[in-house]
Structure 1
């Protein structure tokens, strides 16, 4: 039996509406998100059972269609055909769509075809954890889920070790201790934070060394989805004075004083004006 045709949405232009949904506390959904879900002709979601519970809580009855990382090109083409004619919402099971999920392909194709794309912002475990952890937030790198295989996980962390930013990963309860072991090896000396049960009754954000956190979560196995954060690497130690002088003398052999100072500044990451003054002394 064929599904009945989709009804036009109320007061919404055709297009793709990316709607953030709660990550735990249902009170976090915005009025705009509720209005958009109510007005869309179709809701594309990871799991119709999960989204169905949210819609039931909100008193919304709209058609749903599964669209997740297993959806192929045909499913995306069908959805793009609907988006061209009707308002269609895209939601994930929790949080902001496209953050560590493959919805970007749908957005990319919709934009390439000139279709209307609107984002309705809201909850995100990534941002919530960053605000709780007390780690530097002026620069951060979100790296999604770490690989499950030991070597791949170690290689990923090694490749990120020199990034001058707070690193943020998603993890699951059963894999957290293994991830903390890997972090201890690849990122020694970093401050680590584990945020879990975000926005829920038993919300927790625990900070410390990876070794201390490993011991805690080995004794108290966590459940659910987790955000794992690692502080940025400590600043590199300044080179010894004799190393700086040697570099300046070498540069002064073939360059002017200002050129030598600039060259050593780039090479060692030191203040050019201070290097210029020292170069004048050496001359």
Structure 2
């Protein structure tokens, strides 16, 4: 979209927040099953967690053949039993952009939640671990009132690029945060979430929060802070932009969707 840079800039919009903005209510959207996560105790001999329910044949779902010093995945324990993505991700600041996160609720005798949090680069992991050891997290910033224990995840993830074309926002860096901007008659949190909920789109996602903004030109911006970049934010962006190609749009709605832009915005965890 050639007009993205002109209308929305490349760093995301900092618009006036409106009263109807609401945070995400819980770790996963209604009706979505929380996936099993990565077990850290009694780690399996296979490259995958024994609790993993995904595609074991997919190389992206296996532990990377890298050293611990290159691992970009972390494991968080002692989280609140009702931990949400907002609670988890709000605890990280000045660390680095989060690539992927998943919360595992209490299971069996475990009374607390756990989480896997991945970053795009190892430097972010080092900053997080340094903060934890220095007391920034242990002494000052807590996750829902609890002091988390943070370590390297045994299912390793290598550093990976989030480079995107510059007109997609955020200085040419993909992010778990996207902003959808356009006519308020079609751009609202409720309408956009209904699009994501369409079974045809088959998007399972976790949401930190969603916020609505207004602009002086009368347009509306809805910002979604997803739990992950590639399989959630990037996919949601594709779904929103694909609305322009729907054949059953009225001429008026088609013109409205033609004016919609969807860009990446900075991750507040950076």
Normalised TM-score (structure 2): 0.23
**Relative contact order higher in (CA < 8 Å, ≥ 6 apart):** 2
* Higher alpha-carbon Rg: 1
Hey, which of these two has a bigger chunk of helix by percent? 1
Normalised TM-score (structure 1): 0.22
